[in-house]
Structures are given as structure tokens and as C-alpha cells.
Structure 1
């Protein structure tokens, strides 16, 4: 059985990262932040689990565990 995934829109990613819209797109382009998933011609979302994993990596690195 497939697990339901939660998607985040840009405002939620802004809230989760504390970064501006422009910074988020720069970080995506540079590979720092996971790439969004296109869900329509002008709509993208981020996988909440990928954002959570990115957050955990940041925490681990800051604590010397990464």
C-alpha cells in the first residue's frame, strides 16, 4: 500500500527555512535545498519529508554529527 505524502507550497517552505522566496530559489538552483515537484503548468510543491530531512542534516552539521 502506498503511503500518502504531504506537499508544501512555497509559503510553508519560506516558514520552514526562514529564507526569502529569492533565496529559496537560489538554494534550489545550487543544490542546497531539495528541488520542487511540478504539479501543474504553474504550480510546484516540495515534499515535506525531503524538507524535514534537509532540516535534520542542518541540525546534525551544526552539532558536529554530520
Structure 2
């Protein structure tokens, strides 16, 4: 079962993903997640409480889409 929550602000509704869902979607380890956040190469989490964080689903989806686009561009460049 996914750990997804909804948060509404002004005119938008955001879906929030907990760490396990982010790790599953991105297919990497917790240490890789921390390294990418620290280097600024991954969207930072939103603090929900003293020990709880979540990520905005649309930001994670955009990050994944960008990786796919970069991979596809690299593949087409290699074929030329």
C-alpha cells in the first residue's frame, strides 16, 4: 500500500510521497537518495513533523522524466 497523502494550498493540491515510495519509484538506495539531495541533484523533502518527511509527487515525477529525457538524448547522440 502506497504512503501517499494530499495537501491543499491556495489553488493546488499536492500529493506527498513518503521515503519508501520515493525509493521504489526511483529504484535507488537510501544512501543514494541522501547523496543526491545533499548535492542538489534531487528534490528536497518537505518536513511534515519532527521525524517525518515527504516529497511532492510532481517534483519526483519531473525528476524521473528528466532522467529519461537525458538518457534518450544521449542514446540518439551516440547513434549519429
Q: Same fold (TM over 0.5)?
A: yes
Report how far residue 55 of structure 1 moved: 0.5
**Displacement after TM superposition at 1:63 (Å):** 0.8
Match of residue 63 from structure 1: 72
Q: Which residue of structure 1 lines up, in the alignment, with residue 16 of structure 2?
A: 7
Give the TM-score of the pair, scaled to structure 1.
0.91
1:43 aligns with 2:58: no
What per-residue deviation string (whole Å, max 9, x for no partner) do you get for residues 22-65 of structure 1? Answer: 11011110111100000111111000000000011101101118
> Highest Rg: 1 or 2?
2
Higher relative contact order (CA 8 A, sep 6+): 1
Question: Which residue of 2 is the match for residue 24 of structure 1?
Answer: 33
Aligned partners of 2:57, 2:21: CA distance in 1, in Å?
9
Give the superposed CA RMSD: 1.3
The Cα shift of 1:4 comes to 1.1
Q: Which has the higher strand share?
A: 2
Runs of 5+ consecutive residues of structure 1 not aligned to the other structure: none
Unaligned 5+ segments in structure 2 are 1-9, 75-80
